[in-house]
Structure 1
Amino acid sequence: MVSKVILITGASSGMGFETAKLLAEQGHIVYGGARRVEKMEPLKEFNVKPLKLDVTIDESCKNAVQKIINNEGRIDVLINNAGYGSYGTVEDVTIEEAKRQFEVNLFGIARLIKEVLPYMRKQGEGRIINTSSMGGRLVSYMGSWYHATKYALEALSDGLRMEVADFGIKVILIEPGGIKTDWGHIAADHLAESAKGGPYEEQAKKTAEGMHKQYDGKMMSDPKIVSNAISKAVNNKRPKTRYLIGFGAKPLVFAHTILPTKLFDWMMKRAS
């Protein structure tokens, strides 16, 4: 296997942490980016190189990529893994919070893509791996703004894939279902907080409690299923365009495709 120079964002915890560790163990040169550099200290044991990176700041993205180029002379793979979920109804979530989700989940990704593309184009090859979600292909109850960011990421990735194909650059989407990380608890807490004192408070509280139970239970998939999929996207000569993986992903996307909209909506509300 040829060693590749890789930048992965959101490497301080969860799926990003596990993926950075796995790729470094495979012999790749891995740079892990995150705002909280101290949380990546354990990754040094596996030769992951921590980088302070805030994807919402242009200069931070530029500096991170430039440091890799200065050190390694190339960048082969960008893994856009940073992101978060802030659940709440369209009415309850402030526009400021909605914008923040788009800044992290979409525009931060675009910033890094714009930084790496000139180098990948010059190399005549490269891979951009975007961590989306099954939530980029269906919508769960009271998650409208989060899902809007993931639907947008799916469209951005599909358009980008066609634009850069002639330069030898591949664009790959990772679409996890339910994964056992803190993501679900954070999203549920945002939901309950956003609805306090409003017309959706009772249902939001019930939905948040259901989310906590789901993510505390045993049904969610291990984060390693995501790192394994990303590993395939990095290492396989002909990677898939999409990796739909994890708890509920394939059956729910299939159901969304074949069921009447009203029935699917009823099902998602009942599942909350």
Structure 2
Amino acid sequence: MQPKTVLITGCSSGIGRATAEAFLDEDWEVYATARNPADIETLGDRGCTIATLDVTEPDDIERVVDRMLDEQGRIDCLVNNAGYAQFGPLEDVPTDAVHDQFDVNVYGPHRLIRAVLPHMRRRREGTIVNVSSVAGRLSFPGGGVYCGSKFALEAMTDALRSEVAEYGIDAVLVEPGPVDTGFTERAEEELSGVERSGAYESFYGVFEDTQAIGGGGLGAVSPERVAEDILNAASSTKPASRVPVGTLARVTVLGRFVPDSLRDRAFGLLDRLR
């Protein structure tokens, strides 16, 4: 039988790299992509097909999808993993930074979905896995822009799931909580670009304290744990629509059922206890 094929974005490190390795271990044909191909050379050495793909560049997407179809004749699974977090109070985050956040976390997956769906519909099978976050179901102070992008991804995936069901295609949201990766380092870089008004120094203090913890913090799961759930979703004949990853993620998503007033008071208490 011809091996199944998967296209994965954001494979330079963390969840993306672990996911590429997990699929490879199960004998899938893996197309591992990243903005900088030098970052994924070792995945190529392991047996992945590597390619340059910036999710904000339509030409990159078209080239990689066309190459995959030419070489394999099929795309069984798309894993939209590429993403980053723009933290900062809403007043302090420039609008250009909000646009950049949505360009990667929302428009990027949308571009890829549009590129692969015509092929999946013709074959009447396929799985689209969108890597979201518990931040896609529960927002928090200083995370409005990032959470907004993940809320949008969740809404689009919910709509997509019903739209493509008649074609035998599954759309799955994987929702990790804290993950032990370099994600927070990238978030810290993005925070350096905000325009600090001086009105929200308590947020920046909390953020710095969180950075000092390191290693993803209490309750963080490994990238390999997330990759396992992504692989299971892609391999299942009837995958769950949402897959919270880890105990903390499963507990945190319940916070959306808490009345807004109570949730706001809890965030205020956490700030005072810092």
What TM-score bracket applies, with the shorter chain setting the length?
over 0.9
Which stretch shows the higher mean deviation, 260-269 or 225-234?
260-269
SS across alignment from 2:239: coil
Matched, 1:45 2:45: yes
Aligned Cα RMSD in Å? 1.7
1:58-207 matched pairs, under 5 angstroms: 58-191=58-191, 193-196=193-196, 198-207=197-206
Bigger mean CA offset, 219-228 vs 82-91: 219-228
Native 8 Å contact 2:128 2:171 kept in 1: yes
* Deviation of 1:201 (Å): 4.8
**Deviations, residues 143-162 of structure 1 (Å, cap 9, x unaligned):** 10111100000000000111
Q: Residues 189 and 202 (structure 1 numbering): CA distance in 2 closer, same or farther, change over 3 Å?
A: farther
Q: Which position in structure 1 is the counterpart of 2:208? A: 209
Segments of structure 1 that go 5 or more residues without pairing to the other structure are none
Structure 2 counterpart of 1:254, which letter?
Answer: L
Distance across 2 between alignment mates of 1:265 and 1:35: 38
CA distance in structure 1 between the partners assigned to 2:99 and 2:247 by the alignment: 29
CA change 1:158–1:148 in 2 (3 A) is same
8 Å contact 2:56–2:103 — kept in the other structure?
A: yes
Indicate if the aligned counterparts of 2:219 and 2:248 stay in contact, CA closer than 8 A: no
Counterpart of 1:263, as a letter, is L
- For the pair 1:266 / 2:265, whether they are aligned, the reply is yes
Separation (CA, whole Å) in 1 of partners of 2:206 and 2:268? 9
Q: Distance in 1 between matches of 2:44 and 2:154?
A: 32
Over the matched positions of the two proteins, sequence identity in percent amounts to 36
Q: Aligned pair 1:229/2:203, yes or no?
A: no
Query: After the TM superposition, which residues 9-48 of structure 1 pair with which residues of structure 2 at under 5 Å, given as runs?
Result: 9-48=9-48
TM superposition score normalised by structure 2 = 0.93
The number of equivalent residue pairs is 270
Q: Cα–Cα, structure 1 residues 191 and 203, in superposed 2: closer, same or farther, change >3 Å?
A: farther
Residue 245 of structure 2 corresponds to 245
Deviation (angstroms), 1:65: 0.3
- 1:263 is displaced (CA, Å) by 1.8
Deviates more, 1:187-196 or 1:34-43: 187-196
Comparing 142-151 with 205-214, greater Cα deviation is found at 205-214
Structure 2: segments with no counterpart, 5+ residues = none
Amino acid at match of 1:208: F
**How far apart are 1:191 and its partner, in Å?**
3.2
Greater shift after overlay, 259-268 or 166-175? 259-268
Given residue 22 of structure 2, which amino acid in structure 1 is its aligned partner? L
Cα offset, 1:271, TM superposition: 4.2
Name the aligned partner's letter for residue 73 of structure 2: G
Distance 1:86 1:73, change over 3 A: same
Aligned letter for 2:198? P
SS in 1 for 2:8: strand
1:218 positional shift: 5.0
- By how many angstroms is 1:195 displaced? 4.8
- How much does 1:265 deviate? 2.1
Distance in 2, Cα, partners of 1:208 & 1:28: 39
